[in-house]
A = this chain, B = another copy of it.
Amino acid sequence: MSGNGDDETMIRTPEEAARERHGDIYDEDGSLRSEYLDDVTDAIDRGDAERLKERVADLHASELGDLLEVLQPDQRRSLVTLLGTDFDLSALTEVDEAIRLEITEHMSNDQIAAALGEMESDDAVYILEDLDQEDQEEILAKLPFVERVRLRRSLDYPESTAGRRMQTEFVAVPPFWTVGQTIDYLREDTELPESFTQLFVIDPTFRLLGAVDLDMILRSKRSVKIESVMRDTLHPIEAEMDQEEAAQLFEQYNLLSAAVVDQNNRLVGVLTIDDVVDVIQEEAEEDIMRLGGVGDEELSSGVLRTSRSRMLWLLVNLFTALLAASVINLFDATIQQIVALAVLMPIVAGMGGNAGSQTMTVTVRALATRDLDIHNAFRVIRRESGVGLLNGLVFGVLIGLAAGFWFQDANIGGIIAAAMLINMIAAAFAGILIPLLLDRIGADPAVSSAVFVTTVTDITGFFSFLGLASWWFNIH
C-alpha cells in the first residue's frame, strides 16, 4: 500500500467526480438547477438532438426521471423523440404513473420493445404491467424468446406480489461444486446478471437448497465445497407473497436480497433490497395519504382526476357533518336562549377531534408496523384511557376558566369543563378502538378511521355540551 502517491494526480477522486456532476444538475435544496434545466429545455425547443444527448448522456436513470417530472408534457414527448434509441427507458421506473403512461403512449411498441431488451427484468415488468393487454402482448412478441419467457413469468403473478417485483436473472450453482469451480464459472460465463450479491444453491430440479454471500466465496479456499459455506437461513419468499409482507421480512432480517420460490420451492427469481426500499416508501406514503383523506392521486394528476379522487372522502364527511348538525338541531331552543353555547360548542367538538386524531395516528401507525398486536393491545388501551382522562381534566379546567371569564358565567364554565372531559375520554376510546376494530375485521384502518373518529367526537362533543347545558339550565 505504498508508492502510490503519484497516482493521486491522475485519478480524480470519486467524490470529486460525483460532486462535479451532481453539482452540475442539482442545487443545495436537491432541486434541479435552473441553469441546467434552461439549457435542456432550450435544446428541446430548438430540436437540437446533439446538444440534448450530450446534456443527458451521463444521467442516472433517477436523474433523468427527475428531469422528466419537471418538464412540461410537450417537452417530455419532444425529449423522448429527440433522444430516440438513446432514451433510457428505465428512467420511467422513477416517475409518476401518469407520466409513465404519457410517455409509453407516445412511443411505438417497436421502440419500447427495443428499449426493454436492455433493461433488467424487474424494471421491464414495472413498465410493462401498466400497459394495456394488447400493447403488452405486441411488445412481448417482439422480444427474444428467453426474455419473453422471463417477463411473462413475472407478469403471470398477481400485481403487488413478490413475483411481480423480482428479478429473474440470478446465479445458481450446485452444492457439490468447489469455491474454485464456482470462481472459474463466474469468470467464464458471459451471461451473468449485471450485478449480484449472493449465489443460490440449487438441486438439478431447481429446488432451492441455500445461498452463499459473495464475501464467503472470496474468503474461502478454492478446494472448499459450496455446501459447506452455504447458509440455510435465507428467508425464501413465495412468489405469491404480497410485496408488503416480503418487505417486512427484509426489514426484520436486514436482508439485501432473497430468493423467490414457487410453490414447489423451485427458485424463480431474486428480490433485491432496492425494490423493497421502494415498496417501504410506497406503503408509508399510502398510510400518510389515507390518513389525510387522499386517494391514489399523483402530483402530476390533473384537476379533474384529483378532484374526483378527493370527492368521495369529502362526501362521506358531508354526511357525518349533517349528522352532527342534526344533533345541534335537537337543542335549538337552548341555543336561542343562550347564544354563548353556539359560540363555544365548536371548541368542545374540535378539541375532541384533535385528541382523537392523535390517538388514531399512533394506533394506525403501530398497526401498520405490527408493533401493536393482541399481546399489548390491552396495555395500550389502558394507557390511552389514562391520557384521555388526564388531558380531559387539564383542558376541561382551562376551557372552563376561559369560558367562565369570557361570558362571566360560572355555570357555562362548569358545563363546558364537564363536556370537554367527557369528549376527551370518548376521543381516546374512539381513537384506539376504531382502528383496532377495523383492523380486526380486515379493513385498512388508515382509510376510514378518521371519519369514524371525528363523527364520534363531533357528536359526543355537541351532545354532551348542549345536553348538559339544557339539563342544567332547565332545572335551575
Give the B-binding residues of A (Cβ under 8 A): 1-5, 7-8, 11-15, 17-18, 22, 29-32, 34, 37, 60, 62-63, 69-70, 174-176, 183, 186-187, 192, 195-197, 202-204, 207-211, 213-215, 217-221, 227, 231-236, 248, 250-254, 256, 261, 265, 273-274, 276-277, 280-281, 284-285, 287-289, 291-294, 297, 299, 301-304, 306-307, 310-311, 313-315, 317-318, 321-322, 324-326, 328-329, 332, 335-336, 339-340, 342-347, 349-351, 354-355, 357-358, 360-362, 365-366, 369-376, 380, 383, 386-387, 390-391, 394-395, 398-399, 402, 458, 462
Whole-angstrom distance between the alpha carbons of A350 and B183 in the complex? 67
A197 contacts across to B, CB distance below 8 A: 197, 214-215, 256
Whether A321 lies near B346 (C-beta < 8 A) is: yes
Whether B254 lies near A70 (C-beta < 8 A) is: no
A202 contacts across to B, CB distance below 8 A: 1
A360 contacts across to B, CB distance below 8 A: 292
Whether B361 lies near A291 (C-beta < 8 A) is: yes
Q: What 4 A-B pairs have minimum CB-CB distances, sorted nearest first?
A: A292-B361, A284-B284, A303-B386, A31-B373
Q: What's the least CB distance linking A344 to chain B, in Å?
A: 6
Q: What's the least CB distance linking A224 to chain B, in Å?
A: 10
Q: With A277-B280, A339-B335, A355-B310 known to touch, is A252 a contact of B383 (CB < 8 Å)?
A: no
Q: With A299-B366, A321-B346, A325-B344 known to touch, is A361 a contact of B236 (CB < 8 Å)?
A: no
Whole-angstrom distance between the alpha carbons of A249 and B281 in the complex? 14
Whole-angstrom distance between the alpha carbons of A374 and B12 in the complex? 33
Q: What's the least CB distance linking A84 to chain B, in Å?
A: 25
A293 to chain B: closest residue by CB: B358
A399 to chain B: closest residue by CB: B318
Whether A236 lies near B15 (C-beta < 8 A) is: yes
Whole-angstrom distance between the alpha carbons of A250 and B281 in the complex? 13
Q: Which of B220, B285, B326 contacts A284 (CB 8 A)?
A: B285
A376 contacts across to B, CB distance below 8 A: 69-70, 299
